[in-house]
Amino acid sequence: MGGEGKVYTLAEFSQHNNAKDCRLLIGGKVYNVTKFLEDHPGGDEVLLSASGKDATDDFEDVGHSSSARAMLDELYVGDIDASTIPTKTKYTPPNHPHYEQDKTSEFVVKLLQFLVPLLILVSASIPNHQLKHRDHKRSWQDSSQ
């Protein structure tokens, strides 16, 4: 590896996040990539955006070559103190009364099977009623003239 490894706290590591001092955290190891910013094939923006945080997923998702992985050895400057990294909390949904989903959806389907045809029937009969009323009114006006 490139140098003696220092153990960084997350707060210490997070301060190295600019073009003059850029470090990445990949797989629990800290790498100083400042000298490599100009030479990175993806551009310096890629490295800068991943600095100051855990870049392991970003690094792995790209599918770096074996030579890129070997280059990490030269850039290694230390490790991260795992006790300074906040633990991820598992989401626990609030405790709601349990509803039987099957019965609820069955009720909604039956309700819609009743209401939709009823609404279609009502909406279809309104224009017919208005037409009949209008025709009746015209015939009355025609007869009165």
At 47 the pLDDT is: 87
Q: Looking at the structure, do residues 17 and 67 belong to the same domain, yes or no?
A: yes
By DSSP bridging, strand 6-8 and strand 76-80 are parallel
**What's the Cα-to-Cα distance from 28 to each of 11, 63, 98, rounded to whole Å?**
14, 18, 42
Per-residue pLDDT of the chain (145 residues; tens, 9 = 90+): 445 679 999 999 999 989 899 999 999 999 999 888 888 878 888 888 888 888 888 888 888 888 888 888 899 999 999 888 887 777 777 776 665 656 667 888 888 898 998 888 888 777 666 666 665 555 555 555 5
39-68 in b/e form (b: 16+ CB < 10 A) is eeeeebeebbebbbebbeeebeeeeeeeee
- Cα–Cα dist 112/120, whole Å: 12
Give the pLDDT score at 141.
55
Q: Is residue 77 part of a domain?
A: yes
Give yes or no: residues 130 and 105 share one domain: yes
Looking up residue 32, the CATH number of its domain turns out to be 3.10.120.10
Q: Which range of residues forms the domain containing residue 102?
A: 93-145
* pLDDT at residue 1 in the model: 47
Q: Supply the pTM of this predicted model.
A: 0.56
Is there a domain that residue 1 lies in?
no
